[in-house]
Amino acid sequence: MDISTTPLRYELLAEVGEGSYGKVYKAREVGEKHRLLAVKKFNIRGDASETGIPVFMIREVALLRKMKYFNHPNIVQLLDASAVSVGRSLDLTLVLEYIDQDLSTYLSKVPASGLSQDCIKDVMLQLLRGLDFLHTNMVLHRDLKPENILISSHGEVKIADFGLSRIYTYNIALTPGVVTLWYRAPEVLLNSVYMSSVDMWSAGCIFAELFLLRPLFQAYTEVQQLQKIFDPLLQVVYNVVCLYLQQCLTFRPSSRISAAKALSNEEQMEENLSSFFLPDPTLSLPVLCHEIQRTHVQSKDCSPAS
């Protein structure tokens, strides 16, 4: 499974995450570069020839290897991968470029006054470029959420964690059990066939979270999630705040905007992302919706007559 001619040598610095299959470490490359690395170490217990490597691990390695050679600036880069048998278990190691934090951590540090429009616009444009690259290469991420979007101290945005990703064709029906609930598109909740538009729904939810500083649709069952999506108050938020948000959160998947279309006229896209109403993220939902409606009416009253 090695993908580099010479395996990277590194020293582990600190454990930064843990999951059901393994741990993630911050590491430093040994040698001239001394660059920081993210090292994912998985331990598959039991006879690997019998139990096999979990499907999500195979998918992540395969997709990252495929995308490695494009070196897209908005996709996390896989630098090395190896699998070693240890007794009756298998140790799988992925070495990736190190990014300071994920978007969820970044948002938790934002002051109550919220992010600036320029910052929101920059994050979304980079996210859309990454999604456009994935979809052009027939890859669905299927688990897009703030925890799977990395953002560096320099403002670089990179899509990560491809364990649930799939390569798709236009006539395949994909399995419904994907995407974290709060960012799950209606067609997934309703067990319908879905395509790349599920990622655009998730992107719309993330866009709303950038200015609300909290998830737009926050429920704990699939039924509750659908109720949130069709809540008239929440529809005020995404129908008035910005046309782009409305285009992402369109119920009919075929009518949902694609990343390619959103980026086809970048000047218009930037203008669209710059023209939304930026609400106070500290307001409760009813007060927030009232404020949005009031501001929207005022802006229409003040617009020049045609």
3-state secondary structure the chain: CCCCCCCCCEEEEEEEEECCCEEEEEEEECCCCCCEEEEEEEEECCCHHHHCCCHHHHHHHHHHHHHHCCCCCCECCEEEEEEEEECCEEEEEEEEECCCEEHHHHHHCCCCCCCCHHHHHHHHHHHHHHHHHHHHCCEECCCCCHHHEEECCCCCEEECCCCCCEECCCCCCCCCCCCCHHHCCHHHHCCCCCCCHHHHHHHHHHHHHHHHCCCCCCCCCHHHHHHHHCCHHHHHHHHHCCHHHHHHCCCCHHHCCCHHHHHHCHHHHHHHHHCCCCCCCCCCHHHHHHHHHHHHHHHHHHCCCC
* Binding-site residue set for ATP: 41
Can you give the residue ranges of every domain in the chain? 10-97, 101-302
Residue 50 reports pLDDT greater than 50: yes
- Interval 56-115: pLDDT, tens: 777 777 778 878 778 899 999 988 888 887 777 778 888 999 998 999 999 999 998 888
143 is catalytic: yes
Q: Which residue has the tokens 């920059």?
A: 122
Give the full edge-to-edge strand order of the sheet including 157-159.
101-102, 149-151, 157-159
pTM of the predicted structure, to 2 decimals:
0.81
CATH number of 101-302: 1.10.510.10
Q: 10-97, which class in CATH?
A: alpha beta
Among 135-149, 155-169, 256-270, where is mean pLDDT lowest? 155-169
Number of Cβ within 10 Å of residue 180's Cβ equals: 16
Residue 271 reports pLDDT greater than 70: no
* Binding-site residue set: 41
Question: CA-CA distance, 56 to 162, in Å (whole number)?
Answer: 8
Q: Which of 80, 132, 143, 161 is catalytic?
A: 143
Question: CA-CA distance, 201 to 196, in Å (whole number)?
Answer: 9
Beta bridge mates, 91: 43, 84
- Interval 192-230: pLDDT, tens: 887 889 999 999 999 989 988 989 888 889 999 999 888
Number of Cβ within 10 Å of residue 125's Cβ equals: 18
Mean pLDDT for the chain overall: 79
**pLDDT confidence bin for 167, thresholds 50/70/90:** low
pLDDT for position 75? 94
